[in-house]
Structure 1
Amino acid sequence: MLDLIRQSFQKKYNPGSESFFTAHIGVHAAFFTMMLVIFSIGFSPVDPGTAAAANIGGSGELQQFYAQDEQIRIKHDQNDHSREIELLETSRVLDPESGEAIYLEPGNYRVDFEQTGMGEIHSVQIFASDSRSRVMTVRKEAERAGFAALNIIGPDETAEDDDLWRLQVGEKQERDEAEQLLDRLQEAGFQGWITTTSSEESGFKFYSPEAADGEQKTIAADRLEIEGEMMAVDGIRLNGAGLIKSGPEIDVLGWMPIDRAVKYKISPLARQYIPGAEEEALRALAVALRSRFLSDYLYSEEGYLELAELGSEAERGKITAACKSAVYATAGEYLSRKRELMRGYYHPDSGGVTAEPEGLLDEKRPSVRTAREGLSWQEDKYAEKNTWTQNFGLTFIENELLSRLVDLNPDLQVMPSTLEEIEVEDREGSGRVSRLVFHTGSGSFVIEDEDIYEIFAKESENFELPSLLFEIEEYTQNDEVYRFRLTGRGKGHGMGLPLSSAALAAREGTDRREILSVYHGAEIIGLEDLLITERAVDASVQLGIDYQELRQFTIEGRRVFNVIEFNQRRSRYDMQLFLAGDSIESGPESLAGLGERKGALVGVNGGYFDYQGRPLGLLYREGETISTTPPGLSRTALAGDQKDNFNIARYEWSAKIRTGDIELDVSGVNRPARDGELTLINDHYGDLPPRQRNVGVEVLVVDDRIRGMHRGQLSYPLEIPSGGYLIQARGEAASRLSQAETGDPLEIRENIKPESELPGEIDFILGAGPQLIEEGSVNITSEEESFQEDIVSGRAPRTAVGITEDDKLLLVTVDGRQPERSMGVSLEGLADILLKLGADEAVNLDGGDSSSMLVRGFTMNVPSGYREVSNSLLIVPEN
């Protein structure tokens, strides 16, 4: 079944697809323009061209990696215009631009890039002037008309004896193509003519040393695709590759199954640091390497890994059977925390304590953490207690160390002559040195982090500092240090998996899952459960209001989240609930229109509503009930007080009326009464109450007294009294209410449970549901709240609101039903992203076509369809 899915992905998401590229970059370009308008500070968008190219190459697209049979791209460059390759099968060599192809038999080849002859280049010249600025103006007009490959030719670049600047379009090898371009230019209003220049033709030459006649085959191109398995260099096998002319060099860019890369890398590490070939230690390393390669590949801006990362053929040596078995046994296993892909880290020896990740990791990726909660480092009980010692004498100090202090601190521009003291100024929590101060006769020099390795490297003895977990012992004479000794433990950065400790743990029967849990704080999951989250935009909308766009990738596709974080303590804005059109009777309204009327800075759609735009959940605003949840249902809602404190709880509304000896339950607010029901209609409904042909009783109430009654068909044109309300009753409720008379006092008692935990008076309640997060854990209550299957099941566009532990409000939308852009999310996936954003409580709002987010008048998400909304949450200026 998974293979069938993969085949469908391969057809649908061809990474070479022109339409995919065009759509991708077009969306980003439009988005970039909009961002510049919306945000004034704090905005650093992904470059649209880079993003598109990277995604085509595989970066960020877990789906493409899966569709391509879990292959990664590998690049090898060398400082030579010639290279040796071995083809392992008959291969088709193709120029992707012209379609020209040659076929090569299996064997060894030398490839050169040489001049192959003379050719012609045809362009269309559309303007010439002695003013370069005028030529630039015409170029911009042509760009706006959609033309590319616009070249400005200076007076010194032509054989013409004049001072003219020329604007030429295109560089075509065939004159027919240039004539077609001229026709398109003329249709767009540009007049011109075709110019022809001579050019050198270059291309790749394949020499076969094995052929008796020294067979050569030539193909003129700057880029070739080789369809077939080949041995590129250093014994690295690639499944199809490209030859690229890069300056004077020939680069190879090809595909490789990720497990083949793991096999290449694991062997030298295992020989050196896991000599006993302990099975579970090797398997733990295989998982860490696979996760490392996938993470680096997907996050690579270029869309490939360098061949050097796999080591040379001499370093790799023969891949052992134990290493092959470890890779095979863990196929498809990756490191994860909360389903997010983690980059694998490893080092030879922890020295007894693993290192902190801070300062070493890319913030885009989940950090390494140990299994012990609350700690960023952990004592390594499996570590061997080996120590290392290195002595440094006066020769090293005078000839190497002092000059390096200057090299690493060029701004000081002074050469010290003596070393007086080496001070350890700072260490990480694990004890590793992070900051040294070298006091000299010419001042103090600070050396930090990775530079510490460089300052202590001894070129004369080929010594490299094993780790930063060390102590310094100095020997002085006349206040000058003439020698010093470092005594330390461990080898490597200390972060992630210590290979020597993994071997010892495996010997004691610990399996790879527990080993990786202890040393990486991670679990092992399969590719089908993996996801990657990237922050594409992070911007400040206003003080206390921040916006993010998050993109999440899975093997099934991507999904795009839009997030507002509202810190009401730092903002001069309020969160309020608003009704579309200011009344139920007026029907739904676009979020943009409602936001514009209310002067909103930010907004999202609110709760559920019916086909006429009537709200279906509990809405309460400024002391008045607008609508209620259907009888017998208890659903989760967001409540806010007048001081912008918020909470999320499952609220139940109830009410009773009493007039004389008559006491009746109220079934709802601002909706028609059904048989046997009594409902209240207030001025939030509109000027006229809902009309129906059924028989019943209507009562006008103002100032807690009955001001009028109507018995009969409920189509009588009554108006809702200003400052009062109307009661509508049918069936048994109408029979009992009809016993009251005009002038009788009437009392209504409303009750909302549970009692609010907010410190201030409740300002609004927005009912929706189901609950997503409770007390920092996922708790989806769709069954308890009796939601329909179409609301809670499957992936869909969604909107949610969350509250963080420090009382910030999170507004989140996710686009859906757009396979090329965002496939939507399940309630579980929505809860997961809210947890990652720091939500302690969260509730789902109306979704589907309603899901929409507004910032400064712009719709930030891409709704799956157009739908007006019944109500919304808006962030508006304080009163």
Structure 2
Amino acid sequence: MISRRNARKKASWIALVALGAALVSAINVNADALPQAAYAAVSDPADGVWFSAPETIAPGVIYRSFQLTTSHGSASGHLVNVDLRNPKVSLELLHPDAVAKKDRISQMVGRQGAVAGVNGDFFNVSETHAGVAPTNSAVGPEITGGKSLKFAVPNKQRFGPKLPDGTSTRDVFGLGVDGRARVSSLALNGELKTKDGRIAINGLNQYALPQGGIGVYNHDWGTASRVRPTCGSDASRSAPCSAETKEVTVRNSVVTSVYSQPGAGAIPNDTVVLVGREQGAAILGQLQPGDKVKVSYRLVAEDHPRFLFAVGGFPILRDGQLLAGMDDPALAPRTSAGVSADGKQVYLAVVDGRTANSVGMTVSELAVLMQTFGAANAVNLDGGGSSTLVTRQPKAPAATIRNAPSDGSERAVANGIGVFVRD
């Protein structure tokens, strides 16, 4: 199968070179530079990727390490192949006990009972606004068990490499109720109904709201400050915090308080907090304690069916073709999730980088690599020190970190993709 896919990979390379995407042609085999004793018996070197012997983690879940050479030097990585044709195999969101919180992938895999996992979306970890610490919440949407956890921040408020053409923070990788994985995009259907009419809600448990918007924060958000959502702008993540804000607490559909500044602390299960900035703040300022309101919100896919699980990530492969606009030349550790055209074969991959044994990859090279594995659609996830791939034997108490995190140890992250196998 690898050799047949090689023909498709070469065809894509030719097309991209014709478009001037010279970076993508960097992946080439150099057998003399690779440990042939370990890899040659189970790989076709014509593909440029040398695989280790497959290791069955659980029925339908296979782990392999791999090596290849690029024009920049040698790179090594790790791949988990998930066969969703097995009805006992599934995917779910790995997450801490709050949206605005981070944890290690190995800990989340062990706690949630997964057999494998990779890190997920980019997240708010490296900045402080108005003296408020980072929220540690993810850039894009999150759905778990069919429940909407959070929506996406505005494009200019995100972290990570430049977005490819035609993509946004609303793009996700996930699993539908039909048992097929896919790459899609989510929208937020949110509404605040008052005695005076209906008002659109623009955010759900996210670290940045659009200018003039209103966001909903519930128990899932956690205890983090809700000031950060009113900072930055639609044009710049580093813009100052808004001077026009309001926070409204709603319990059992009744307004209980109205404040000028967003607060912090746990939100009870029977309560939602509305945070508004600019025009959104002006609208919330018209509410008074005792007013009856109705707050509704849910994430909906641009296609069908609905998602059981979804995590943010920007597309790098769509219908077998690499996306335009992937012009980031940086070499770094990379994480990706891809899926076959029929939605039944999932590829979770990490490429190590910034080490003596692995130089990392560009985003374009990662797209070619995922195509080589068999993915028709794939997303780029958080990389650098966040890139982590772990496996766990079904009855083992702890997960094993398979890659070499570039920080020297595993980094706590906002979320991840977990592989689950039912007994």
TM-score range, shorter chain: 0.7 to 0.9
The gaps in structure 2 that reach 5 residues or longer are: 1-28, 126-133, 156-167, 229-240, 393-398
User: 2:247–2:261: 8 Å Cα contact kept in structure 1?
Assistant: no
1:735 — aligned with what?
Answer: 282
| Pair 1:651-2:196 in alignment | no
How far is 1:688 from its partner? Answer: 6.4
Within the candidate set 583, 597, 613, 2:98 is matched to 583
Looking at structure 2, the residues matched to 300 and 645 of structure 1 have their Cα atoms a distance apart, in angstroms, of: 36
Looking at structure 2, the residues matched to 755 and 816 of structure 1 have their Cα atoms a distance apart, in angstroms, of: 35
Within the candidate set 673, 676, 679, 2:212 is matched to 676
Deviations along 1:457-500, whole A, 9 cap, x unmatched? xxxxxxxxxxxxxxxxxxxxxxxxxxxxxxxxxxxxxxxxxxxx
Where does 1:142-541 land on structure 2 (aligned, <5 Å)?
364-365=43-44, 532-541=48-57
Looking at structure 2, the residues matched to 713 and 833 of structure 1 have their Cα atoms a distance apart, in angstroms, of: 48
| Pair 1:746-2:261 in alignment | no
Looking at structure 2, the residues matched to 851 and 815 of structure 1 have their Cα atoms a distance apart, in angstroms, of: 8
Question: Helix, strand or coil for the counterpart of 2:370?
Answer: helix
2:406 — aligned with what?
Answer: 864
- CA distance 1:300–1:825, change in 2 (3 Å): closer
How far is 1:569 from its partner? Answer: 2.3
2:10 — aligned with what?
Answer: none
How far is 1:626 from its partner? Answer: 2.6
2:258 — aligned with what?
Answer: 710
Looking at structure 1, the residues matched to 251 and 179 of structure 2 have their Cα atoms a distance apart, in angstroms, of: 32
1:615 — aligned with what?
Answer: 138
Looking at structure 1, the residues matched to 152 and 208 of structure 2 have their Cα atoms a distance apart, in angstroms, of: 14
User: 1:797–1:816: 8 Å Cα contact kept in structure 2?
Assistant: yes
How far is 1:844 from its partner? Answer: 0.7
Within the candidate set 781, 795, 806, 2:331 is matched to 795
1:768 — aligned with what?
Answer: 313
User: 2:138–2:415: 8 Å Cα contact kept in structure 1?
Assistant: yes
Question: Helix, strand or coil for the counterpart of 1:839?
Answer: coil
Question: Helix, strand or coil for the counterpart of 1:833?
Answer: helix
- CA distance 1:734–1:301, change in 2 (3 Å): closer
Within the candidate set 641, 644, 649, 2:176 is matched to 641
Looking at structure 1, the residues matched to 267 and 380 of structure 2 have their Cα atoms a distance apart, in angstroms, of: 33
- CA distance 1:736–1:540, change in 2 (3 Å): same
User: 2:249–2:257: 8 Å Cα contact kept in structure 1?
Assistant: yes
Deviations along 1:396-450, whole A, 9 cap, x unmatched? xxxxxxxxxxxxxxxxxxxxxxxxxxxxxxxxxxxxxxxxxxxxxxxxxxxxxxx
TM norm structure 1: 0.37
| Pair 1:726-2:242 in alignment | no
How far is 1:649 from its partner? Answer: 2.0
Q: Percent identity?
A: 21
- CA distance 1:574–1:796, change in 2 (3 Å): same
Letter in 2 for 1:364: S
- Greater helix share, structure number: 1
Question: Helix, strand or coil for the counterpart of 2:77?
Answer: strand
TM norm structure 2: 0.73
Looking at structure 2, the residues matched to 547 and 871 of structure 1 have their Cα atoms a distance apart, in angstroms, of: 21
| Pair 1:569-2:85 in alignment | yes
Looking at structure 2, the residues matched to 300 and 720 of structure 1 have their Cα atoms a distance apart, in angstroms, of: 54
How far is 1:297 from its partner? Answer: 6.3
Deviations along 1:574-598, whole A, 9 cap, x unmatched? 2100222x1034x321111222211
Looking at structure 2, the residues matched to 861 and 645 of structure 1 have their Cα atoms a distance apart, in angstroms, of: 27
Letter in 2 for 1:698: E
The gaps in structure 1 that reach 5 residues or longer are: 1-293, 303-360, 368-530, 783-788
Q: Which has the larger radius of gyration?
A: 1
User: 1:697–1:709: 8 Å Cα contact kept in structure 2?
Assistant: no
Question: Helix, strand or coil for the counterpart of 1:834?
Answer: helix
Deviations along 1:116-147, whole A, 9 cap, x unmatched? xxxxxxxxxxxxxxxxxxxxxxxxxxxxxxxx
Looking at structure 1, the residues matched to 246 and 292 of structure 2 have their Cα atoms a distance apart, in angstroms, of: 15
How far is 1:812 from its partner? Answer: 0.5
1:631 — aligned with what?
Answer: 154
Deviations along 1:664-697, whole A, 9 cap, x unmatched? 3323222366763311101111156625896643
Looking at structure 2, the residues matched to 608 and 812 of structure 1 have their Cα atoms a distance apart, in angstroms, of: 16
How far is 1:754 from its partner? Answer: 1.0
How far is 1:875 from its partner? Answer: 1.5
- Larger RCO, structures 1/2 (Cα 8 Å, 6+ apart): 2
User: 2:124–2:137: 8 Å Cα contact kept in structure 1?
Assistant: yes
- CA distance 1:695–1:713, change in 2 (3 Å): farther
Letter in 2 for 1:583: A
User: 1:608–1:616: 8 Å Cα contact kept in structure 2?
Assistant: yes
How far is 1:625 from its partner? Answer: 3.0
2:198 — aligned with what?
Answer: 663
The 4+ residue runs of structure 1 with deviation greater than 4 A are 294-302, 632-635, 672-675, 691-695
1:473 — aligned with what?
Answer: none
Within the candidate set 63, 82, 89, 1:547 is matched to 63
Where does 1:19-58 land on structure 2 (aligned, <5 Å)?
none
